[in-house]
Amino acid sequence: MDIFEYADELEFGELHFQVDPDIDLRAVVAIHSLERGPAIGGCRFIEYDSTDEAARDVMRLAQGMTYKAALSKLPHGGAKSVLIKPSDHELSDEQRESMLRTFGQFIDDLDGQYITAEDSGTSVEDMNIIHEETDHVLGYGTEQGGSGDPSPYTAVGIRRGIEAAAQYVYGCDELDGLTVAIQGVGHVGYHLAKELHERDAELIVADVDREAVGQCVEEFGAEAVAPEAIFDIDCDVFSPCALGAILNDETIPRLTCDIVAGSANNQLGASRHDAMLRDHGITYAPDYLINAGGLIYVAAFYAGHDTDRASQQIEAIYETLLEIFERADTESRPTGRVTNQIAEERLEAI
């Protein structure tokens, strides 16, 4: 399937590419939908094997952002962007800054259709630089009048999702004594570990970043395992909080958990893996529902609302997820397909 056929399959809106060979910049902005309002979505700065791989990744992520905004009833469409990180050399601070500034100008040229924010490989400091070039950015530092890091709000939504899944599976949403295996303890994963530790959950963590793992071991008493071993851990909840497509033909049979609930986007390797989880007796909390906390927070900031309103919406993830579990049971369908249908119904109702 070529890139235009893929765009048709995802019912896409716009793709924008930027190249600047002088600073080794290759950027893609995917705007999936503007039907509900200007599109919000983070900017990734990671390595890809090819431009085609980057484009497909950002397109699928953008569609997920459209569904996420629709499920959360936000007045926004969905988009994502990627800066393709060079794999053949280390970036100097000066080159990284030049890339971010040029990218900020690129965003500004889109005239408010796309509002960027941090994502895998980017930080509040990166958003500060982009903000110097455009107003169409969220997640920059509070010292600049911005919203700051949305990761703690994303983590609260994930924790509420885990509580809802525990209520559905075990009949109790208390996390005391539950074992949660977290794959990836970066921005969101760390804050999720903190949320779970405060509620007396037992934590097992894995990440390629040994320092991040060590911090969770020291602060939360977590058990550390090798990144590849995390799929084989005997646990109650498996929480993917790294990159996507990690639930697939190879990994799902290895899982011994009752629940999958994490922050990573596009966790399913393919749509059929939703049914595969169900067949294995695993309750799946669809990622773009339970990881919407960060989007809800920055959207509230963009609209000038206070954080109390955002917190109420994030708390509502619990009830929404319980409704999806019940509907999936009633209809004998995977939770992901039910969630997709609800999002699509809300988009069609515009």
Q: Could you give the CA distance from residue 350 to residue 344 in angstroms, rounded to a whole number?
A: 10
Q: Is the sign of the CA dihedral 320, 325, 327, 333 positive or negative?
A: positive
Q: Could you give the CA distance from residue 267 to residue 246 in angstroms, rounded to a whole number?
A: 6
Out of 68, 73, 80, 194, the active site residue is: 80
Residue 236 neighbours by CB under 8 Å, 6+ apart: 166, 178, 179, 180, 257, 258, 259
Query: Which of 258, 277, 255 is CA-nearest to residue 268?
Result: 277
Residue 10 neighbours by CB under 8 Å, 6+ apart: 32, 59, 60, 63
**Going by DSSP bridges, is the β-strand pair 179-183/237-240 parallel, antiparallel, or unpaired?**
parallel
User: Annotated catalytic, 80?
Assistant: yes
Q: Could you give the CA distance from residue 165 to residue 61 in angstroms, rounded to a whole number?
A: 24
Please answer whether residues 67 and 346 qualify as being in contact, where contact means their C-beta atoms are separated by less than 8 angstroms.
no
Neighbours of 193 (CB within 10 A): 25
Catalytic residues: 80
